[in-house]
Amino acid sequence: MFPQFPIVWRLAINAWHIYGLLASISLTCLIVSYFGPLLFMSWAPRCNLCRRYFADLESARASGSESVAEAVDRTIGRRSSQPASTQESRRKRANSVKRGGAGTAAAEEPRNPVDVAKEPWALVTGASSGIGLCIVRELARQGINVVLVARNDALLPKAVEQLHTEFPERSFRVVATDLSDATPANNTLEKEVGVIPGYLSDVKEATADLFAADTLRLVFSNAGYLLMSFYWQRGLAEQMRNWECNVTAALRLTHYVLERWAQNQHRFGDLERTGATSRTSRRRLLVFTSSSSFFLPTPFATLYGAEKAALTSFAQSLAVEVRDLGVDVLVVHPSYTRTNLYAGQPKLAILRFLDRFTGASPEGVAESIMRSIGRGFLIRDIGLYSSLTRWLNHIIDIGLLSSILVQLRHLVPEYRAFKAASEAPRQRAC
């Protein structure tokens, strides 16, 4: 037996070397497959949306001297710097916005509404500030009109006024509504069925002619807000309103949009033929703003992490189903971004750290989204925090990390603060 030991030892060493080689190859492939696209998309130019999604509308350009896509190629990625006199003249020509309660507010257009409906259009939720407003600006720079869906608060008219001043040649429709309010529409039949909330009826009313003309082909589901506390400290109704805005509203809107797009594809005869190499000429786009927060446990924002995990999972599976409809799906995971998302919420230590060292601007996130569209990627992690936490999931089991966090919860300052807040009413009652 002993003479055979050196042979067994050599076999063990060889097996270890083979394992090390395979592990090195796997790690290298993982690094290249993850960070390679990130580096590429960091330097890649913005996607020319008019060329990819509205190529068949180029002939409708009024001047006829150059196509929409060619005009975008000239100006894409370049911010306009107009002299003060030019800006003042544009401001005088900017259109006012009719505001009306929580319903639809449509911008007055000097052009024929029928002609306007035949131009490229996109829809953006949460468009009054932050990432949503920056997405609207990116779209307007590329010659695309936008339907803005946002709450009817002080930010909305200010945003619309700024957009009209910056882009007087573009058309903006405003749907002032609350995506967290699932109250059924006033229509009697819809109210009996109880499945169509008022905000979806507002969106349908504002976009009916655009879907009929098949010119609304880009939808950005970006709306969302954050609640921070122990989950049980807030009322269930408040939590469900948050879920409605952050998840259910995006699902309802996506279902309605896909129904209309499928009808248009059938009506215009642009469905891809099974097994054919040619692709449909009428492509569409769905973009979901998720978050990297759910990569790790999210105590004190429990519902928010679950919402973003649900949205990402939904988009991943949906991408398979809608491919034959010519629909591109992109879900983005921004890192900490300096927006109104955290307004009125306790500033956790980790958020203060991220704000100081890795905080991103909403303009930068919107630009990264534009660089990611049309690149063949379904998921885009934006920022250092998203990349690091994604890799942490590959290194440490998330279940083990959660167990460690449970045992060390008393060392977290925010846990002690929220616990003290929850115990204060009980102490006053005593």
Q: Is the pLDDT of residue 105 over 60?
A: no
Looking at residue 418, its pLDDT comes to: 82
Give the whole-angstrom CA distance, residue 191 versus residue 198: 10
CB atoms within 10 A of CB 241: 18
Higher confidence at residue 132 or residue 386?
132
pLDDT band at residue 237 using 50, 70 and 90 as cut-offs? very high
Characterise 64 by phi-psi region: left (phi > 0), alpha (psi -120 to 50), beta (else): left
Q: Where are the alpha helices (DSSP H) in 230-327?
A: 236-243, 249-268, 302-321
Q: Is the pLDDT of residue 361 over 80?
A: yes
pLDDT band at residue 110 using 50, 70 and 90 as cut-offs? low
pLDDT digit string (tens) for 300-322? 889 999 999 999 999 999 999 99
Q: Is the pLDDT of residue 100 over 70?
A: no
Instruction: Please report, for residues 223, 245, 349, 354, the alpha-carbon distance to residue 180 in angstroms, rounded to integers and kept in the order given.
Output: 10, 4, 28, 28
pLDDT band at residue 98 using 50, 70 and 90 as cut-offs? very low
Looking at residue 111, its pLDDT comes to: 60
pLDDT band at residue 63 using 50, 70 and 90 as cut-offs? very low
Angle, vertex CA 124, rays to CA 118 and CA 130, nearest 5: 140
Looking at residue 37, its pLDDT comes to: 63
Angle, vertex CA 137, rays to CA 61 and CA 260, nearest 5: 65
pLDDT band at residue 69 using 50, 70 and 90 as cut-offs? very low
pLDDT digit string (tens) for 399-411? 888 899 899 988 8
Looking at residue 93, its pLDDT comes to: 37
pLDDT band at residue 220 using 50, 70 and 90 as cut-offs? very high
Instruction: Please report, for residues 129, 146, 335, 404, 420, the alpha-carbon distance to residue 396 in angstroms, rounded to integers and kept in the order given.
Output: 36, 43, 20, 11, 31
pLDDT digit string (tens) for 171-216? 999 999 999 998 887 754 544 455 789 999 999 999 999 999 999 9
What percentage of the chain reaches a pLDDT higher than 90?
A: 42
Looking at residue 191, its pLDDT comes to: 47
Looking at residue 341, its pLDDT comes to: 76
Higher confidence at residue 354 or residue 194?
354
For 364-389, what is the mean pLDDT? 89
What percentage of the chain reaches a pLDDT higher than 70?
A: 73
Contact by Cβ (8 Å): 97, 157: yes
Q: What is the value of pTM for the model shown?
A: 0.78
Query: Which domains are seen in the chain, by residue range?
Result: 49-395 (3.40.50.720), 401-430 (no CATH)
Among 87-96, 255-264, 397-406, name the most confident range.
255-264
